């Protein structure tokens, strides 16, 4: 069963796992809310990875795998941060946590 979240007068529909249903509604207040829920302090590195995830999903209509993300991180953030290890520093809950914070739909819906 889906749930509704209201932030600053705007309503967001989330699935039973807390993923945003309509990624076009994702915005800064929702990013802040997700970050708080996931106990992540959003940095510019997080933001660049989130932007990559959102752009990739919009273009390809699918979720990237973590190796693809780390390759993009290497190009965007530099070789010292372009690794799966650094990705897990940014998102300790893994790739699904990153997808949720980025406002992407759940990869495999089980709700």
Instruction: Read off the pLDDT of residues 18-49 as tens digits, 9 standing for 90 and up.
Output: 999 999 999 999 999 999 999 999 999 999 99
What 3-state DSSP class applies to 42?
coil
Could you tell me which residues come within 8 angstroms of residue 7 by beta carbon, excluding any fewer than 6 positions away?
A: 29, 30, 33
Q: Does residue 16 have an active-site annotation?
A: no
**Predicted model pTM:** 0.92
**pLDDT of amino acid 108:** 74
Distance CA 40, CA 8 (A): 21
**pLDDT of amino acid 80:** 93
Residue 28 structure tokens = 């800064």
Asked if pLDDT for residue 109 goes beyond 60, the answer is no
Residue 12 structure tokens = 């967001």
Mean pLDDT of the chain: 94
Confidence band, pLDDT 50/70/90 cuts, at residue 111: low
Nearest to 78 by CA among 45, 40, 47, 56: 45
CA angle 65, 26, 38 (to 5 degrees): 65
Confidence band, pLDDT 50/70/90 cuts, at residue 107: confident
Catalytic-role residue among 1, 49, 110, 111: 110
């Amino acid at each position: 069963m889906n749930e509704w979240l209201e932030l600053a007068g705007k309503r967001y529909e989330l699935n039973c796992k807390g993923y945003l249903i309509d990624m076009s509604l994702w915005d800064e207040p929702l990013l802040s809310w997700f970050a708080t829920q996931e106990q992540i302090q959003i940095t510019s590195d997080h933001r660049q990875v989130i932007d990559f995830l959102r752009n990739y999903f919009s273009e390809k209509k699918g979720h990237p795998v973590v190796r693809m993300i780390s390759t993009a991180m290497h190009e965007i953030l530099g070789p010292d941060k372009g690794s799966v290890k650094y990705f897990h520093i940014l998102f300790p809950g893994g790739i699904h946590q990153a997808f949720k914070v980025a406002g992407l739909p759940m990869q495999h819906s089980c709700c």
